């Protein structure tokens, strides 16, 4: 079996490795016991992931002498709630795990965010390991230590920064993903090229079909995305500066998720990000910051891979532009009422724009809203 690609997240004494490659579930116990010898573990997962991958992980952990306690939750965004946070905390305590033991997240972004939050608060902070099973989680949410749950008032509004000790990104588990979920994760992959790696975006334009198929190109694409995120996290762990660039597409995207009431049948997170990135480039062109040709190029690539790229691609009716602006102003990327967006001067030239006038955003939303007179 080929050796995994290793990407280090450089945080001094809290630095950790991201391992990327096939067969890592089966090696989990070996990799874990090498870094955290003698620990006991709890695995938090959801029903769908458990059916596909839990037995493989358990066997892999047992090879390293780890007999894990298992906590299985319902699948879906609604699991990121106070009720399920309490369930995970209680399960870890019931297993009599100590502070030096480890809580493992086996799943996509929902499970990773929830489990990391639980690990960050149980016994005032336990060891945490991410084993992301979706492409979106492998390239984004599993790296960087942002954890949390949703509130009825908005997405990811309750949480802590709690870095993992290790991330195992098994590229083979992605073969079991529905194509819609893989595409949604690909949006976050492309995001890194659009932020500050134009050569990577160009590479994806030429190689995206190979990334979808699997093999070396998939592992390299994930590794490059993880390098990009690791670089940003090392510079700005707590999102006081540059790390906000990782929110490219997310301010519009989160508003659209809220507008669809987080209904995954209509819109999943990565699809919201795809539309949000296209809107961010189109908005930048409207403000004469970037060429309309760049916006068209982004839209063409998202369309080629089968992702939605405009609001009219979302099934069903959307709230009007004023209501969408309301979702944007509720987003946590708003500071003291001023609207902050990640805008761009071109492919790979994203920047943080503060004090964006709400009136400009509103008129842009009206122009791009499928059901509103222009």
115-173 confidence digits (pLDDT tens): 999 999 999 999 999 999 999 999 999 999 999 999 887 778 899 999 999 999 999 99
Find, among 22, 306, 18, the residue nearest to 182 by Cα: 306
pLDDT in tens, 2-32: 789 999 999 998 999 999 999 999 999 999 9
Strand intervals (E) in the chain: 5-9, 16-21, 41-46, 69-73, 102-107, 127-132, 149-151, 154-158, 166-170, 339-344, 350-356
What DSSP character marks residue 4?
Answer: P
Binding residues: 109-113, 133-134, 146, 155, 188, 250, 269
Give the annotated binding-site residues for NAD(+): 109-113, 133-134, 146, 155
The token duo for 41 is 């573990």
What is the C-alpha separation between 181 and 177, in angstroms, rounded?
A: 6
CB atoms within 10 A of CB 322: 11
Number of H helices, E strands in the chain: 14, 11
**Annotated binding-site positions for Zn(2+):** 188, 250, 269
| pLDDT, tens digit only, all 374 positions of the chain | 578 999 999 999 899 999 999 999 999 999 999 999 999 999 999 999 999 999 999 999 999 999 999 999 999 889 999 999 999 999 999 999 999 999 999 999 999 999 999 999 999 999 999 999 999 999 999 999 999 999 887 778 899 999 999 999 999 999 999 999 999 999 999 999 999 999 999 999 999 999 999 888 999 999 999 999 999 999 989 888 889 999 999 999 999 998 999 888 999 999 999 999 999 999 999 999 999 999 999 999 999 999 999 999 999 999 999 999 999 987 655 566 678 999 999 999 999 998 898 899 999 999 999 987 65
- Catalytic positions are 124, 146, 188, 229, 239, 243, 247, 250, 254, 269
Ranges in the chain annotated CATH 3.40.50.1970: 5-177
The hierarchical CATH code for the domain 5-177 is 3.40.50.1970
The third-level CATH classification (topology) of the domain covering 193-368 is Dehydroquinate synthase-like, alpha domain (1.20.1090)
Cβ atoms of 108 and 137 within 8 Å: the answer is: yes
Q: Where in the chain is the domain with CATH 1.20.1090.10?
A: 193-368
């Amino acid at each position: 079996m080929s050796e995994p690609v290793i990407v280090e997240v450089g945080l001094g004494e809290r630095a950790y490795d991201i391992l990327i490659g096939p067969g890592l579930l089966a090696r989990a116990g070996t990799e874990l016991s090498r870094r955290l010898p003698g620990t006991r573990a709890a695995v938090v997962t959801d029903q769908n992931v458990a059916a596909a991958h839990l037995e493989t992980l358990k066997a892999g952990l047992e090879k390293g002498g780890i007999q894990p306690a298992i906590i299985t939750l319902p699948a879906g965004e609604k699991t990121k709630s106070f009720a399920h946070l309490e369930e995970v905390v209680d399960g870890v305590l019931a297993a009599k795990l100590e502070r030096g033991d480890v809580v493992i997240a086996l799943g996509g972004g929902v499970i990773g965010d929830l489990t990391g939050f639980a690990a960050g608060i149980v016994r005032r902070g336990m060891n945490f390991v991410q084993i992301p099973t979706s492409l979106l989680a492998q390239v984004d949410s599993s790296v960087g230590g942002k954890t949390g749950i949703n509130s009825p008032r908005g997405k990811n509004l309750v949480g802590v920064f709690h870095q993992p000790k290790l991330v195992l990104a098994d590229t083979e588990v992605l073969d079991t993903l529905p194509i819609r979920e893989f595409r949604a994760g690909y949006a976050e992959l492309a995001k890194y090229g659009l932020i500050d790696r134009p050569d990577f975006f160009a590479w994806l334009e030429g190689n995206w079909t190979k990334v979808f198929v699997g093999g070396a190109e998939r592992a390299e694409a994930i590794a490059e995305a993880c390098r990009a995120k690791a670089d940003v996290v090392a510079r700005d762990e707590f999102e006081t500066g540059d790390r906000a660039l990782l929110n490219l597409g997310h301010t519009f995207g989160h508003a659209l998720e809220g507008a669809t009431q987080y209904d995954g049948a209509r819109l999943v997170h990565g699809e919201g990000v795809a539309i949000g990135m296209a809107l961010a480039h189109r908005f930048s062109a409207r403000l004469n910051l970037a060429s309309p040709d760049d916006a068209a190029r982004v839209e063409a690539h998202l369309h080629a891979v089968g992702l939605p790229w405009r609001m009219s691609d979302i099934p069903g009716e959307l709230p009007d532009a004023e209501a969408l602006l309301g979702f944007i102003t509720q987003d946590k990327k708003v500071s003291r009422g001023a609207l902050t967006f990640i805008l761009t001067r071109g492919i790979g030239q994203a920047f943080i724009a503060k004090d964006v006038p709400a009136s400009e955003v509103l008129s842009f939303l009206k122009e791009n809203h499928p059901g509103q007179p222009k």
